[in-house]
Structure 1
Amino acid sequence: MQFALPPRRSPAPPYAHSSRFPRYRRKQLKTVAVLAIAVFTILYLLPRLFSSSSPSVVAPAGTASVVIVTVIDREQLSESYIKKIVENREDYAKRHGYANFFTSTSDYADAINDAPQTWAAAPALRHAMATYPYSTYFFHLSAHALIMNPSKSLKSHLLDKARLESLMLKDLPVVPPDSIIRTFSHLKANDVDLIMTQDGEDISPGSFVLRQGDFARFFLDLWFDPLYRSYMFAKAETHGLDHIIQWHPTILARLAMVPQRILNSYSKDSPSAGADGTYQDGDFVVRFHLCESTQGRDCEDEMESYYKLWQSKAKSQ
């Protein structure tokens, strides 16, 4: 009896594989590699985004750590007034090895367009940072202000980490008296890139300190955004600042609010000072807030008594 045998099959060659498998495997490995690189890049960059620490760049010898930025409206102020402001700033800078950056509102007229000239603070600070790329801090001070205590360096008075930590006002309504947005209670001095004060009504940008870096450029670009300049805020750049600090946590996360008299004391004739915001002898700065726009006030007359007091202090210190 014969049985049908299954047809013979040629044995498969040893180690044979489908011709499609290697291509699929290579494609799969390539995808995994790309994803791994993307994840590594994100994990590397995220901690450095808006980091308060700047890249390790060696500044040239003699670089000033602090630059004082003063924007002057030369069409509205007399030469004698401007001369006194410049003298005050230059004396202070010379004492502490700082630099001055004097500029005019007219330099930014094309950028500001039809908005109030007080918006010039933002492009002026960008201009100063480009001019002094290795300096760390930029101290914006209104032309309607005098540095009254020349012996106090900005570093010991405000910028030292322990000193700043002791001054920071935490869990404070950002816009007085009762804004629902409050300064962060967990913020540390190492996180701070922007130091400001309030008066009795608003954040007060006539005197503040900004640290050079990515955050500073982001902050100034946001503040100077055409949308805010065209919005016709009642107090122009001040209300624009109120808005972005309240509604942009990225800004609030780098902001330290300090008591008004630390950086921004108002003269006795200035309106809207905070509860303890009026100048007292020994304060760092006196500012003649709104002297140029308040009926019955004259900036030059108001400055004169403070200027003479500053001169006597400068000679004795």
Structure 2
Amino acid sequence: MYRRANELFPGFEENRIETPDISFAVLTAGSGPVILLLHGYPQTRSAWHRIAPVLAENYTVVVPDLPGYGESRVTGNWQGMGSKRRMAKSLGEMMLALGHLRYAVVGHDRGGRVAYRMALDFPETITALVSVTVVPTPETWEGVSKAFGMGAWHWFMMAQPAPLPEKLMAADPRFLIDLTLGKMAENIERIDPLALEDYRFAFDNPDVRHAMCEDYRAGAATDETDDLADRMSDRKIQVPVLLFWEKDRLYGGGREPLDIWADWSSKVQGKGIGGGHLLPETAASEMLEDLLPFLEKAIDVPGQL
């Protein structure tokens, strides 16, 4: 049943893009200014099935599986491949291979961490940033508490050295992913059955689970180091930023998301939305109410195609 999930993206074209380190599985559709959509853990590009078709009515939309996730495979050196800087570089190479020089990036969860790293490292390429349920990695770690540890236990388990988490996850992958997605969505039945099967099938693959662990290992090491270096040097995101976060949730030790992101950019706006953590699936209509006018203002101008 895997990749029947592509039925969720009517009119999109399936592409296989080779870069020096990654063989990307990517869907594309539409025309006009370009938007890159990046999913999170433990999902695939199917996470955007309620957002991407709407955007494709007026934009060129690119929807890949993250490096190592879904059907995107690491073909080069695995060393450091989980770092958001490496992912950002590979995704930039993918976009260049598709002929896109400038584009907005929308990222949820782990994809949100790749997205803001792209905005920091490639300011000449990124036209706008949309971050969904994410604050920068240093502020996340600085806000760790008992409640965070109990709720986001996978941040600690999956960051352990190999092969411990990989072996634990292999014991019953379907139980683990259903438990995780059910909690994130506040009810697993809110996830489309085709998308859910896509996530499950991908998670069955030990290479995908290893890539996810490498992602979280980097989050506890290289990603934090890279972000702290930017924060200490007062390096800012230069493009307009739109945030969506889980309504009534505080981040980074009890801080409001807008306050946290104001330390990283002077062009930040956003709001909290109900629906749990998987907002692109559980609250797509609410997201689009703000996303569409933001993109129109941020990137629908001459010279930014």
TM-score tier (shorter)? 0.3 to 0.5
Q: In terms of Rg, which structure is larger?
A: 1
Q: TM-score, normalised by structure 1?
A: 0.34
Q: Specify which structure has the bigger relative contact order, considering alpha-carbon pairs within 8 angstroms and separated by 6 or more residues.
A: 2
